[in-house]
Amino acid sequence: MTTTPAQKTKTQKSLKRFLLFILVATLLYFAVFTVAVYIIGERNNAEPADVIIVLGAGLREDGRPGPALTRRARHAAALWHESLAPLILCTGGQSEYYPRTEAAACREILLAAGLPYDAILTEERSRSTEENAIYSKRLLDELSLSRLVLVSDSYHMLRAGWVFSARGLETFASPAPASRIHDPFVHPFSLVREFIAFNWQLFKEAFGIPWTHVRGI
């Protein structure tokens, strides 16, 4: 059956309207997500707990802690000095690009902040937020620790809190102050990354996909 020019034009218009609808819906969803990230990221619900968990973040090429890990570890150290918990658990494994684990770099910051060595636990296997939760839970179960203060950056708290709660961990959020982020590109870049990672997690949960790590998210 031959398609007439009028039918082709109608089909093209319908396709354009559909694509426009998808674009607008995605932008609205992203806007709602952004508001949720901001609201959750501004909440500090820290309470006395068994342990403070620092979620890992990237290192510099020479193995020094990156800005995000430094913010998180210093915030956790401040909470420890306020006697919020007797222990801090540093999480994060070793990327092929770095000479040591994120957890080891976190421990270095904590020691410099005055914490004793025996107040610091490390989890050095994880490569993602989900693996942070998986391996942290195994360690905490072995030590009979259940209440934890979760420390990360504000833009990360929505997804991190969800992932840890899904693993049966009782968490109290305490984001590192956003005022310590001085690079103007960090927030927009991290927000887009979180949007992708959050929806990937939703997709995984919906279809039972067992992958716990995807490079970049």
For residue 130, being part of any structural domain is answered with yes
CB neighbour class for 160 (10 Å; exposed up to 12, middle 13-18, buried from 19): buried
pTM of this prediction?
0.91
For residue 29, being part of any structural domain is answered with no
Token pair recorded at residue 36:
């949720």
Give me the pLDDT at residue 6, please. 65
The CATH number linked to 130 is 3.40.50.620
For residue 171, being part of any structural domain is answered with yes
Q: For every residue of the chain, which 3-state class applies, written as one string?
A: CCCCHHHHHHHHHHHHHHHHHHHHHHHHHHHHHHHHHHHHHCCCCCCCCCEEEECCCCECCCCCECHHHHHHHHHHHHHHHCCCCCEEEEECCCCCCCCCCHHHHHHHHHHHCCCCHHHEEEECCCCCHHHHHHHHHHHHHHCCCCEEEEECEHHHHHHHHHHHHHCCCEEEECCECHHHCCCCCHHHHHHHHHHHHHHHHHHHHHHCCCCCCCCCC
Give me the pLDDT at residue 13, please. 80
In terms of residue numbers, what domain contains 76? Answer: 51-176+187-207
Give me the pLDDT at residue 180, please. 87
Give me the pLDDT at residue 2, please. 62
For residue 153, being part of any structural domain is answered with yes
Domain count of the chain?
Answer: 1
For residue 45, being part of any structural domain is answered with no
Digitized pLDDT (tens) for each residue of the chain, 217 residues in all: 566 766 667 777 888 889 999 999 999 999 999 999 999 999 999 999 999 999 999 999 999 999 999 999 999 999 999 999 999 999 999 988 889 999 999 999 999 999 999 999 999 999 999 999 999 999 999 999 999 999 999 999 999 999 999 999 989 999 999 888 888 899 999 999 999 999 999 999 999 999 998 887 7
Give me the pLDDT at residue 215, please. 80
For residue 66, being part of any structural domain is answered with yes
Give me the pLDDT at residue 1, please. 53
- Dihedrals φ, ψ of 152, to 5°? -160, -170
For residue 65, being part of any structural domain is answered with yes
For residue 213, being part of any structural domain is answered with no
